[in-house]
Chain A
Amino acid sequence: MQQVMELANSNVMWLVASIVISIVIFQSIKFIQLASKTGIEQGMSKKEINSALKTGAIAAIGPSVAIVIVAISLIAFLGNPLTLLRIGVIGSAPIESVGASFAAEASGATLGGAGYDQMAFTAIVWTLCIGGMGWLLFTALFTKSLGNTEKKLTSKGEKSKKTMGIISTAAIIAAFGNLVSAEIIQGLAPFAVAVAAGATMVIATKLSEKPKLSWLREWSLGLSILISLCFGYFFI
């Protein structure tokens, strides 16, 4: 186990993990620059652009803390750099731990237990790296064709543009309808929290319609998460 952790926290692992994370950060900055510039050309105001950035940033705080908490559980047997590499690039802690345990099993070991040697660790690296690559390959290869398909659909005039708008809105509502359903059927606490979060969102949105309180709009998601979690504390 100790030898495994030495390998898992070796310089090579750290080097690759840091370069990859730097690329992710670089990409975000590059896209923010591109979108800000194009936004101005499309008639968006500086204020709107800043507000979009700020809202996105605030909304990410709650989820990020939750993600990190789950990710920490991986460090014990994957080491810090591989965890950073797998959680910082497409991936989520629960699914990564499934992959890791499959790989350990295939090499006749248990995660962090009997038979967990450098080879078992290497098998995990193979599985998680190639496993996460699926999304990247598809995105790199096919986003352009998806974009062209969308363009074809919307170029047929106002009506198809309107339909595209309906599809986008309905799709995102459907996505969250499904996600929230999966959570609330799990028990009273998640149900109560989801309802409280929704109620906070209604109140925050209504209040933000007052000119003096328009700043609330940027905070509404963050506030909803925080207040509903405080409420949920009494249910656990």
Chain B
Amino acid sequence: MNVEQVREFNTEKSIKETLNKNASMEAFHTKAHFWGRLTIWTVIALTLFLPIYLSFGLGYHPGWTVILNALAAYAGVVAVVWVLEPIMYFPILGVSGTYISFLTGNISNMCLPSAAAAQNAIGAEPGTEKGELTATLGIGAASLVNKLILIPIIIGGSVVIANIPQQLEGIFPLVLPAIFGAVLIQFAMKKPTYGVIALIIGLGVNLISMPIYLRSLICIVLVVLICIQLEKMKEKKQTL
């Protein structure tokens, strides 16, 4: 084989490999959609069954006016978030990460940090195939650990809590700043400019009074736009 042939053979091989990789990712997404939807629809059906059974099976129906009033008030608080959160976090979580995160819950305080930590541990870039798979593995494991801790304590009940010393109770509100601070720095170490921009805009939106869901949205949109602009300017400089 002369050099040219070898080279041709190699490109052919690498094209084949990329095709295989694309096909396996495609298959992964198809399966993720199937299992993700199946599990979520089943949970929807079950959580509908429960109130219907209490109302009409056991006869404790409180009346539709009461239910609608309560739901309207509640939806006023959460309805925007139903739509915004899945869209906002999609670039980070990907298809499979979205299905797990929105079923298991606690997205910002558990799923995102776990996904980020997992990506960081093995050096997978967010937004790539490897990044999405790593996020899924991290969130999947996090969800299992979460249930492992949740189930015995909820069943075993309040005994544990009654025995927590009072001095320790004051610490629990500090868990969130601890998680968020650590994760922000973890990223900021890789992209210091992004980190500074995010912190400045984050502080800005939090010091101006506006609904909570708007804060997150405005912050993400602004930071993304600024960062894209920055990268464009960097590229221009390099090509000059």
Contact = CB atoms under 8 A, between A and B. Distances in A.
Contacts of A114: none
Contact of A59 (B77, B117, B201): B117
B37 interface: yes
Given A34-B96, A42-B21, A121-B60, A170 B227 contact: yes
Contacts of A102: 70, 73-74
Q: Interface on chain B toward A: helix, strand, loop, or mixed SS?
A: helix
A48 B122 contact: yes
Interface string B43-69: 110111111011101101110001101
A106 to B, nearest CB: 4
Q: Interface on chain A toward B: helix, strand, loop, or mixed SS?
A: helix
Contacts of B71: 126-127, 130-131
A26 to B, nearest CB: 7
B41 interface: yes
Interface of A: 7, 12-13, 16, 19-21, 23-32, 34-36, 38-39, 41-44, 48-49, 51-72, 75-76, 80, 83-85, 87-92, 95, 98-99, 102-103, 105-107, 118-127, 129-140, 142-144, 146-147, 150, 163-185, 189-191, 193-202, 205, 217-218, 220-221, 224-225, 228-229, 232-233, 236
- Sorted nearest first, the 3 A-B pairs with minimum C-beta distance are A177-B198, A56-B138, A194-B181
27 contacts: A28-B140, A34-B28, A42-B130, A57-B142, A66-B109, A67-B106, A80-B157, A88-B151, A98-B74, A123-B67, A125-B50, A140-B40, A143-B98, A144-B33, A146-B98, A167-B224, A168-B126, A176-B198, A177-B219, A181-B199, A185-B203, A190-B174, A195-B181, A197-B185, A201-B186, A225-B175, A225-B178
